[in-house]
Structure 1
Amino acid sequence: MAAITPSTGVGYGLEISKIVDALVKSDTSAKSNQIARQSSNNSAILSGIGSLRSALTAFQDAMKKLNDKDAPSFNAFAGTSANESVVKIKTTNSAVAGTYDIRVSQLATGSKVASQQFAGGGTSAISEGELTISQNGKTYKVNVAAGSTLQSVRDQINKELGKEGITANVVNEAGGSRLVFGSTTTGKGSDISVGGIPELTIDGTQKMVGAGGGFIDALAQDAEFSVDGLKLTSSKNVVDNAVSGLSLELTGTTSPTATTGVKVSVTLDNDGLKKSVQSFVDAYNTLRKAVTALTTPTKDSSGNVTSLGPLTNDPTTRSLLSDIGKVVAEAGSGTQLNTLSQLGINTQKDGTLEFNSTKFTAALNDKKLGSEIQGLFTADGGVFDRMTKALDPYVKTGGSLDSRKSALDKVTKNLQDQQAALDRRTELLTTSLTKKYAALDTALGLMKKQGEQIVSIFDAMNAQAKKG
């Protein structure tokens, strides 16, 4: 442990600590201030890059939501069902406004078959062999190993065929257990048959009788329904081709005694289109304002710059603003509708978008552009596609922002290393100067004592001379 030196010399009384501190600061302050300035600037830019990434992520999330294929925005039409427990409806831009009477006499069902009963339950032994499961002309094979049980065969089927939509389970009933097969495939003729292992053989076209195997309750069947009295069938309960521009999801059956079916309506959805377009404008403006705040200097009430934005004059950010600005200004590949300005969306001086609702309404009512809006935004080469491509060089892994952050992280590490080196120099210089000034204090102290002794001798001599 290093010896602790008093701040004031014990010899002559020099203020060693103050002297050393002043000399050390004189030697290191310029470098220390330089590191502090660079560290502060670097940290501000790093924070700015982080804020920029957050703003871009929020904008991308907003675009992803508006471009969701399962819940599409920008539909020119809206569909409503008077009874969604029988039929639900989705529309596309190829729909036609109107009403339809939907009746559902039966839903499409899948195959459900059961094996013979096993008195031993889930632990019943199953013979070794190749189990074959057939459905819709396809055959799947499961190799059953020696020592398998009803339960282990169930687990093996689920593991190997679950991705094909075929599952199995053990159902315990009075008299024994059965291996029950089910499938997500629906429609007439999709009945499951099982063979290859005698005790698990099932003819899926035969009804289960007594302890034997077969189908449970009924064969797989097609959905049967009508649209305005026209009868249709479907192997699935989601029907996309019955009415042009509509997707019908059959969820239940209508009463056979009902005088009317379920009324399904398709209407123009101008309000929905406006809401979706406004959502895009708002998301874009939020991004633009966030970036502007990062690049704009702060001024006081007199207009004097008090501080710069963390990304002021940053080339990457300037390039980003230019790229996204081009997307909202340039024309797309549409025929009747290919620019945002046709919908009343124009770029303002500060780079944000202005949405003119009057011009938008005129585009829908007078120019009949409603069915074109979805394509303008979501089609290949549309606004979202072009915006995604514009942002990708910045946000992708290894892209511009990743590269900037990596470079700034290296600067941070370098500045930390410089500070550590300066701290070591400060410590060594402080120790060295403290020792030197402590030695000087001691030497001066000795000289002071010697001087006092000489003065004392002369005083004694003078006193003696006066007595004589």
Structure 2
Amino acid sequence: MATIGNTYDPATTATGLATNYTSARQSILTAQTKQASSAAAALSSLRSAISGYQSSLLSLTSGKTMLTQAATFSNTAIGSASAGVNATAGNYSFFVERLATANQVSYNGLADSAADGGSLGIELGGAPGFSINLASANSDGNATLTPREIAAAINAEPTNNGRVSASIVTVNGVTQLMLTSKATGAAGNISLNTAAVGNAGLKTALSNAPTQVVTGQDALVWLGAQGSGTAINQASNVFTNVDGVTMTFTKAQAPGDAPVTLTVASDNAGTVAKVQKFVDDYNKLKTVIDAMVAPGDPAKGANPGVFANDGGVRVLQARMVSMLRGANGADSLAAYGIVATRDGSLSLNATRLTSQLAVSPKGLDTLIGSSVNGASSGIAGSLDGYLKEWSSSTDGQLKQRLEQNTKLQTSLVKRQDQLDKQYDSAYKRYLMQFTQLQTLQSRMASNTSMFDALFGDKSN
């Protein structure tokens, strides 16, 4: 008689049937979830790219001009200079008689002393600066206060704010307390107020006149020749007396030397660099958008962009291109060497830019304009104004799209949860049914074996 055998596993069969039961809906849900996740990442990337480009436009145009000025000294050993956008072209003469220096003093012959407390005042330019508590300076709490503990207390004092640095220097076995002013100029000259020092020996040592390692002094620079020009005294070696120009002097001149000449003039190389950045930053944003709306090419294995079928992002792409191509006339982008290619990206011909600047230097600023709030103009103003329709934190398209996509993702999570429950329910139902069937099959197999034993052929 035939034997009835088990030909399946209930758990495996239940898994397969439950998967088949939900597979169509799961495929759709998986695709929608993947698309929503890709859209969220792309929208965040687009927001970052637009924000970065707007910041670049603001940085390039906030100085009211794309033109760059350069400031140079006839003798670069005397110092260096830089010119801002508001600097006026011209030549200026300076004679550097004296550089500003930071005061450095040393108190010699210091020794360990009894920790008698009190306080030590540090004065700057003859005015009270700060003081240290000598009892607290005795950090190890023993009966002796060392010069190193005093130096450490000066450096750690919160009200010092780094104005004075203290160190210990030992020369030929003699300990010196070295104090250095952070600020240059006479106003940073250091002196000590020992009136409240508790230990008599320490008070005497610190009351002695210090060694002036470096004398603190103000800089003295003449606008014009030494002695006959206009004297300029200040505590710093950085001068801003010429509008839009920052000068840093690093070497004093000898009596009788000729004044050094500062020349402020147009810097074509700097202007080309700024225009190149304008071109590069525009292309960077456009590249991001182009990738998102790319149609893809199955023949080459290129997948379409996440917004390939999104009309709104395609409008963004087209509007940016049209804003640049719409600037025509004598002072057009092309006249200044900024050329839009067939795909809308930009390239720069530096030679043509330099030539047009010689003919119409102000035309570039009028053309590019500004994206500064309240002073928006030109191409930069138009681009920034349109991009704000996307980037606005209150009602911009990116904000609205991200919110809608977040709602969609929340809905998809709920749908996935419901589908998971349906899968679990189907699995349990199929598992119970096929477990029962397997049990019935086992009983039938057992009965078949019993019948075979009772009625089988016993002739052998």
- The two structures share one fold, judged by TM-score above 0.5: yes
Q: 1:106 maps to which residue?
A: 98
Displacement of 1:188: 3.9
Partners of 1:400 and 1:115 lie apart in 2 by 69
**Cα distance change on mapping 1:364 and 1:448 into 2, 3 Å:** same
1:10-159 alignment runs, 5 A limit: 11=4, 13=6, 15=8, 20=14, 23-53=17-47, 55-56=49-50, 59=53, 74-100=66-92, 102-115=94-107, 117-120=109-112, 125=115, 127-129=117-119, 131-136=120-125, 139-142=128-131, 144=133, 146-149=135-138, 150-158=147-155, 159=157
Partners of 2:261 and 2:290 lie apart in 1 by 51
Contact map agreement 2:99 2:220 (CA 8 A) in 1: yes
- In structure 2, the residue corresponding to 1:221 is in which secondary structure? coil
Deviations 1:322-356 (A, max 9, x none): 9988997999xxxxxx9979956587886645657
Deviations 1:113-136 (A, max 9, x none): 34464212xx7746323x444435
1:426-465 alignment runs, 5 A limit: 426-440=423-437, 443=440
Partners of 1:385 and 1:105 lie apart in 2 by 52
Contact map agreement 1:66 1:276 (CA 8 A) in 2: yes
AA matched with 1:293: A
Partners of 1:48 and 1:391 lie apart in 2 by 18
Partners of 1:295 and 1:115 lie apart in 2 by 74
Partners of 2:254 and 2:243 lie apart in 1 by 26
1:311-326 alignment runs, 5 A limit: 311-312=307-308
Partners of 1:210 and 1:15 lie apart in 2 by 99
- In structure 2, the residue corresponding to 1:311 is in which secondary structure? coil
The percent identity for this pair of structures is 23
- In structure 2, the residue corresponding to 1:44 is in which secondary structure? helix
Q: 1:292 maps to which residue?
A: 290
Displacement of 1:181: 3.2
1:67-466 alignment runs, 5 A limit: 74-100=66-92, 102-115=94-107, 117-120=109-112, 125=115, 127-129=117-119, 131-136=120-125, 139-142=128-131, 144=133, 146-149=135-138, 150-158=147-155, 159-163=157-161, 165-174=163-172, 176-195=174-193, 197-198=195-196, 212-214=208-210, 216-217=212-213, 219-229=215-225, 230=229, 232-235=231-234, 236-241=236-241, 243-256=242-255, 260=258, 262-299=260-297, 308-312=304-308, 352-353=345-346, 360-361=353-354, 363-369=356-362, 376=369, 381=375, 383=380, 387=384, 394=391, 415=412, 418-419=415-416, 422-423=419-420, 425-440=422-437, 443=440
Displacement of 1:250: 0.5
**Cα distance change on mapping 1:404 and 1:101 into 2, 3 Å:** same
**Cα distance change on mapping 1:395 and 1:168 into 2, 3 Å:** farther
Partners of 1:39 and 1:293 lie apart in 2 by 21
Contact map agreement 2:65 2:365 (CA 8 A) in 1: no
Partners of 1:171 and 1:300 lie apart in 2 by 76
Displacement of 1:37: 1.5
Over aligned residue pairs, what C-alpha RMSD do you find?
5.4
- In structure 1, the residue corresponding to 2:135 is in which secondary structure? coil
Displacement of 1:403: 8.1
Displacement of 1:306: 8.6
Long gaps (5+) in structure 1: 1-9, 201-208, 332-337, 461-468
Greater shift, 100-109 or 413-422, is seen at 413-422
Displacement of 1:312: 4.5
Q: 1:466 maps to which residue?
A: none
Displacement of 1:309: 2.3
Greater shift, 84-93 or 216-225, is seen at 216-225
Partners of 2:455 and 2:188 lie apart in 1 by 129
Displacement of 1:44: 1.7
**Cα distance change on mapping 1:376 and 1:449 into 2, 3 Å:** closer
Deviations 1:86-135 (A, max 9, x none): 21111233444455554433211123334464212xx7746323x44443
AA matched with 2:276: Q
Partners of 1:318 and 1:446 lie apart in 2 by 69
**Cα distance change on mapping 1:266 and 1:161 into 2, 3 Å:** same
Partners of 1:21 and 1:198 lie apart in 2 by 89
Partners of 1:254 and 1:277 lie apart in 2 by 39
Displacement of 1:39: 1.8
TM-score normalised to structure 1 length: 0.68
Displacement of 1:248: 1.5
Displacement of 1:369: 1.9
Greater shift, 225-234 or 248-257, is seen at 225-234
Displacement of 1:47: 3.2
Partners of 1:97 and 1:254 lie apart in 2 by 25
**Cα distance change on mapping 1:232 and 1:414 into 2, 3 Å:** same
Long gaps (5+) in structure 2: 139-146, 199-204
